Amino acid sequence: MISQAVTEAVLRDRYAELGGQVLWRWALTDLAQNDQDVIATLDDGTRLHTRYLVGTDGMHSTVRDRAGIGFPGSSYGESFSLADVRLTGAVPGDKVILYFSPAGLVVVAPLLDGAHRIVATVDSAPEHPDIDYVQALLDARGPERERFIVHEVMWGSRLRVQHRVVDTYRAGRILLAGDAAHVHSPAGGQGMNTGIQDAIVLAEALATALAHVGFQGRNWSSLS
């Protein structure tokens, strides 16, 4: 139950140790490619030339769109309500519990800082669930013997799950990985784990390709 923020920090620090650099608050606006390289245009007018470009810019990928790669699939009808909250009651601190009730499913999962992640499938979830909404979910679907009491919602969101996969992972020198290439239910951390596996396999392939053309010492930058 390590938070996404911690996972990203670990990966970012390791990337910096290896000589990489993450450039924040820059946005890609356009792409072009030829037989030799890819030209990426950023929102401040900067143009970057690189041998290969990897789009890891999420479900609404600009890279995928500019590369003309199809992303077929559809959405599930239901939505998910997510909230990180402070609770009291007989709250489990060392295990994830799924509660099944006639009203529907709710998941209560401990986080490292003593908070809990609440996940529930609902027909139409609010964009920003508040204390009253999360409390109502737990009252209707959670334990009956001793109620969980919500004292604070630190973060909340709505998630609509889609199942899509790209027609191809590559268009010339442009490649895709992570949510830009495939999206599905987040249950079990599948999105993060498959994205990391994409990165491992793709890094090995790119290292081989770059070494073959004499680019062993080149530094790489990522845009977030």
Q: What's the CATH number where 79 sits? A: 3.30.9.10
Confidence label for 213 from pLDDT (cuts 50, 70 and 90): low
Report whether 140 contacts 103 (CB < 8 A): yes
pLDDT in tens, 56-66: 999 999 999 99
pLDDT in tens, 120-129: 988 888 889 9
Residue 17: is its pLDDT beyond 90? yes
Largest CA distance in the chain: 67
pTM value is: 0.74
Report whether 178 contacts 87 (CB < 8 A): no
Nearest to 75 by CA among 1, 185, 155, 151: 185
pLDDT in tens, 100-126: 999 999 999 998 788 999 999 888 888
The parent domain of residue 28 ranges over 4-71+166-223
Q: Do 13 and 92 reside in the same domain of the chain?
A: no
Higher pLDDT, 8 or 52: 52
pLDDT of residue 216: 41
Q: Per-residue pLDDT averaged across 78-96, rounded?
A: 89
pLDDT in tens, 145-169: 889 999 999 999 888 888 999 999 9
Q: Do 119 and 135 reside in the same domain of the chain?
A: yes
pLDDT of residue 90: 86
- State which of 161, 182, 204 marks the end of a domain: 161
Q: Do 140 and 89 reside in the same domain of the chain?
A: yes
- Strand partners for 139: none
Alpha helix stretches (DSSP H) within 4-162:
4-17, 62-67, 131-141
Q: Do 61 and 134 reside in the same domain of the chain?
A: no
In single-letter form, the type of residue at position 109 comes to A
Q: Do 54 and 90 reside in the same domain of the chain?
A: no
Tally of structural domains, the chain:
2
Alpha helix stretches (DSSP H) within 55-189:
62-67, 131-141
Can you give 128-143 as a three-state secondary structure string? CCCHHHHHHHHHHHCC
Q: What's the CATH number where 204 sits? A: 3.50.50.60
